[in-house]
Structures are given as structure tokens and as C-alpha cells.
Amino acid sequence: VAILAALAHRERDGGGQHIDMALLDVQVACLANQAMNYLTTGVPPKRLGNAHPNIVPYQDFPTADGDFILTVGNDGQFRKFAQVAGRPQWADDPRFATNKVRVANRAELIPLIRQATVFKTTAEWVSQLERVGVPCGPINDLAQVFADAQVKARGLAIELPHALAGMVPQVASPIRLSKTPVEYRSAPPLLGEHTVRVLQEVLGLMPANVAALKEAGVI
């Protein structure tokens, strides 16, 4: 993002600039809401696993055949979720009626939800909740990822010829460029496969020099 911003500035005035980018700065900036929770209260957030510190329910839940993620973003969505879960009374319960009280009563609500979610499959939850506009999604293992219809449609699993193993599987690049698409020229090289080529074509060593390095056990 910083590079793109600098390029945009260059296009306006023609000048370049130095980008000072530290991994530490990025890491702290990526703390996002957790950082603000601390800065505004002075209290370090506690560990909540996959749960959200400010929104409830907003985490993973077990299903009859796996797990799914439920991200209820407002009170209207919670009411819809309660209906789908067969627990409409939750939406009017003074302990759970608003997000503020759901956060305060997280310890009481989450076990109740877990008791309800195990009675439907992941696909049933996702289908029924998407139908009423409640954000959610399956938690897939890698077999399920590569069996996903959209993953297949996007061609994210590819094969390339390998010198020893025939065709080997690879993961496609997520970058899709209309004018300069990614090209898949070869599979990952064997150990040392390009050593001589690099020494001669990139470093300019003569064949005799390369032979001497081999004789000495350097390569």
C-alpha cells in the first residue's frame, strides 16, 4: 500500500520518495480493535481464542459434522439467528437482547449456542443463515478447500511437469492480471538443478572455473 501511495504521488509531481517501513510498526497497526480496546480503557484484552472481544456471538461453533463461523454483527442479525436456531426467546432475553449485554453475558450465551448448533450440519447452518442475511461460513479442512466448487472454478490447483516425479501439484497464484497474466513455466527445481547455469550465465564463470568448484566440493 505504501508503494502504491508513493507511485500515485510520483505520477502527480514526478518525484520519488523514501519509504520507511518497519515490521514492528505494521504488527502494532494490525492489532486494530484490540489496540484501541487497550488504548481507550488501559486494560489489556484477555485471550479469547477465535472469539471477538467486542461482538457476541462472533466466533466458531461446532455443528453435527464439523464447525462453522458465526459473525452476528448487530441485534437484528441476532434475532434472525435466534429464529433459525429455534430459540426466538433469546432475542428478547434481557441478558442477550443487545450486543452490549451479550458481551457482558458471554459466558452464559456461548454454551447455549453451542448446545443448539450441534443439531444441524455445517451446510444446513450456512444455507439457512445466508437465506436470512446472517453472516457465517464453513470452517474447511484442506480437502474441503480444494473440493470447493469456487476453488475449482478459479483453477487454484494446477499441475506442472517435474524432472523426476512426472506431474506434480501446485497452488496457483492468486494474482490475476488482464494484460500480463502469471505464467507457469516450470515446477520447483531439483536441488542444485540450476547451479551451473547461474554460475555461468549470471556470474559469468567459465566452464573451467565451474569444474574447479566441483572438483573442490564447493558445488
Q: Where are the domains of the chain?
A: 2-30, 58-139, 141-188, 190-219
Tell the CATH superfamily of the 58-139 domain: formyl-coa transferase, domain 3 (3.30.1540.10)
Who contacts 95 (Cβ-Cβ below 8 Å, separation ≥6)? 101, 102, 105, 108, 109
In 3D space, the residue among 46, 32, 64, 66 whose CA is nearest the CA of residue 107 turns out to be: 46
pLDDT value at 63 more than 90: yes
Compute the mean pLDDT over every residue in the chain, rounded to the nearest whole number.
Answer: 95
* Cross-sheet strand order for the sheet of 58-62: 58-62, 67-71, 136-138
Given this model, what pLDDT does residue 150 score? 96
Q: Please tell me the pTM assigned to this model.
A: 0.77
Which helix (H) or strand (E) covers residue 59, if one does? strand 58-62
The one-letter amino acid code at 34 reads Q
pLDDT value at 14 more than 90: no
172: Cα separation from own chain's centroid: 16
pLDDT band at 31, cuts 50/70/90? very high
pLDDT value at 186 more than 90: no
pLDDT value at 164 more than 90: no
Query: Dihedral, CA atoms, 120, 63, 86, 95, nearest 10 degrees?
Result: 180
pLDDT value at 90 more than 90: yes
Query: Dihedral, CA atoms, 158, 163, 165, 167, nearest 10 degrees?
Result: 30
pLDDT value at 187 more than 90: no
pLDDT band at 188, cuts 50/70/90? confident
162, 168 in Cβ contact below 8 A?
Answer: yes
